Amino acid sequence: MTRAIGKCVRAIVAGGVFGAGALAGMASAQNGAVAPVLPAGAAALRQAAPASQAPIRNEAGTIRYIVLFADTAAQRYSAKAVSDPRFGADHDGKVMRLLHEVEAAHRVAATHAYSHTLQGFAAYLTEQQVTALRRDARIKSVSPDIEAEASASAVWTDVQVGASTLPWGVQAVGGSAASTGGATVYVIDSGIANHVDVPVSARWNAPGACAIGKYPHATFVAGIIAAKNDNAGVTGVNAGARLVSLAYGDPTCAAGSNSFANVIAALDEAKRRILAEGRMGVVNLSSNFQMVNLTPDRMPLVAAFQKSVRALIAPDSASGYRGAVFVQSAGNRYNDACFYSFNDKLPSDGALVVGAIDSNGQPAQPLNGSGAFAPLDPKGVTEMGSNFGSCVDAWAPGKNVRSTWMNSYGSTYVVSSGTSWAAPHVSALAARLIETTPTLRTPGEVENAIRARLVSGGALTQGTPLRVASIAGAAHKARPTVEFKIGAQRSSPSPAMLGAAPNPALTAATPFELRYEALGAQSCDMRAYVDGNLVEQKLAGPTSFNWGSVTRAPGLHRWDVDCRSASGETNSASASARVARGLEPVITFSVDGVPTTNGVPPVSTSVPVTVSYQVTNATSCTAEAYRRLPVEFFETWYDNKNAPTSMRWAPLKLVSGGEYYWRVVCVNRNAPGAPESQESVGLQAI
């Protein structure tokens, strides 16, 4: 997830604080421009300050300067954050890319980077470098100190509102609004938990199913729809909407509870409740099933499911049944959605199948040969991406979405991906339209109202314009989605770096995979650097490239890719690899005093266990430990960014059936290149 970061520009001169405009004027004067008229009192401050305005020098006596870029110099670059180990990834990507080129052209090494109102960098410069920079058309001035911090974003990003988060997905579909309670959303799922941020009006569970399952899938769905606007946690699309939890099954309940039979029972129960309520409802099903190419014995179940959905949707004037808008996820197989979801494909039938987009407005699909949907559980399976095709009626946010979750400690919030999260965005829109538009009397009319609000940002899915659900029909421009893959890591959502946690340092003889791919781009510029020096570039190049398995000489390697869409929208990705020059840290784990070189057999819970590590050739370490108890997800229980070079955990009482892992990453800053190493150990309790 990308958070919006507050931007601040401070200008410090002679120990006083000046406005950025005054500083810009002073900078211009130093470069031959006419000095501006200073406000009253400023001249006195300037005259009183000479003693404190002495140039800042390094040990060699070289003066440090601030180099400001020309106002439009950075505009041709992508704004996405860049992985630069010196400055982190919080700076404006446009400015950082310009900075890298200026560094390479003038053989300078920046000590600071600035990327907000005053864009530029600080560096110790020789007189010759100062002269050359002032002649560079990209440079506006060389002048006194400025610090800046900035953040780049996608089309939509999470926004902090007080103590609450307004997720990017909620913004993409038109923002949050307070529900009037005029429509009920029925969530057919694993059972909505008792989360502090999610209102639940009623519960029901199918035979053998838990009313509240251990897997908080339904809780995540519910948060997208209706999380309260209460200055805490997250806010839903239709905040505080009336929810009914219809639990059809969970893997931790009775065997076979999550069955077609229970799904049909839940659909039936939804219709019963909607009839009793006397008003049109909305039903969300964020589950998918194989619908075609089935064995003969399964075909009747599929037919029953289809028939149940049609009966759920259709109003019946004789009984007074008002009908229901049916919303289903498209599925995560990166395949034809007709194979996995309700597939009548009838216009205005009151059913909507929803595919997933990312925060750039692009379809969530595989890049670099890797699936688009990483699992919450580190041991889980990565799913390929959103299904697509003629059965998808609308697209909505589904990749790296934040919502409500439950763990063994209670209510929490996580970021997750899948078309399961796209469907509830549209369910919430349907509920809001029912509440605010009395003229919408049937599910078909609600579907048509949503279709009328579908907007295209220029993205394509299988060559067809992708249309995103938006309550206001607000326009947006999709940006390319760009990812690197380096080693086993992807550069999204955070730029990947080998040689830093969680991966070990490389050696010159260690091969690693390197590739990039852009979705929704027309061309890309690629630049490669070694220790900050530009060594390779390819402008207006392909939107994907695979170096294969590569090795690199010792040094800090960085690859930047800037991509453009046909409409001129830009985005980028970066990757880095630190190839060690020797003297890597050596980390040794032990369990009960025995080194874990040959692995660790299952550990009995009857006797407390001792876990320890010892490191040589290290100046600092980071240590973390995490565990997964039976039917739970992984949780971190120890995290120390300043861990010692030796440590011991004892006595540890393990829970039967639990999995326990420790990971230590250490760096040797006394060696050239500051090589890093990682080691981990896992225990299975029996």
Catalytic residue ranges = 189, 217, 420
Q: Measuring CA to CA, how many Å separate 523 from each of 44, 300, 477, 480?
A: 54, 49, 17, 10
Half-sphere exposure of 180 (CA within 13 A, CB side): 10
What are the residues whose beta carbons fall under 8 Å from the beta carbon of 527, sequence distance 6 or more? 97, 100, 101, 534, 536, 537, 559, 560, 561
As given in the structure block, the two tokens for residue 329 are: 């996820």
| Strands (DSSP E) found in 236-344 | 238-239, 242-247, 281-285, 324-329
CB 437 within 8 A of CB 449: yes
> SS3 sequence, 473-514?
CCCCCCCCEEEEEECCEECCCCCEEECCCCCCCECCCCCEEE
Angle value at C-alpha 13, between 11 and 19, nearest 5 degrees:
40
CA 22 → CA 15, 26, 39, 43, 149, distances in Å? 15, 6, 9, 12, 19
What ranges make up the beta strands (E) of 503-579? Answer: 512-519, 523-530, 533-541, 544-550, 555-564, 570-579
- Going through 370-495 in order, the beta strands assigned E by DSSP cover 394-397, 401-407, 410-416, 454-461, 464-469, 481-486, 489-490
For residue 230, what are the contacts with CB-CB under 8 A and spacing of at least 6? 164, 197
The pair of structure tokens assigned to 225 is 């729809």
- The C-alpha R_g of the chain, in whole angstroms, comes to 29
The strand order across the sheet containing 646-652 reads 594-595, 586-591, 609-616, 646-652
The span from the first CA to the last CA of the chain, in angstroms, equals 37
* Rounded-to-integer distance, Cα 411 and Cα 64, Å: 50
- Taking a C-beta distance cutoff of 8 angstroms, is the pair 184, 244 a contact? yes
Phi, psi of 303 (to 5 degrees): -60, -40
Alpha-carbon distance of 448 to 176, in angstroms, equals 21
Taking residue 594's Cβ as centre, other Cβ atoms within 10 Å add up to: 11
Residue pair 247/218 in contact by the 8 Å Cβ criterion: yes
Q: Which helix (H) or strand (E) holds 351?
A: strand 351-357
For residue 116, how many other CB atoms are within 10 A of its CB? 18
Query: Pairing mode, if any, of strands 159-161 and 202-205?
Result: unpaired
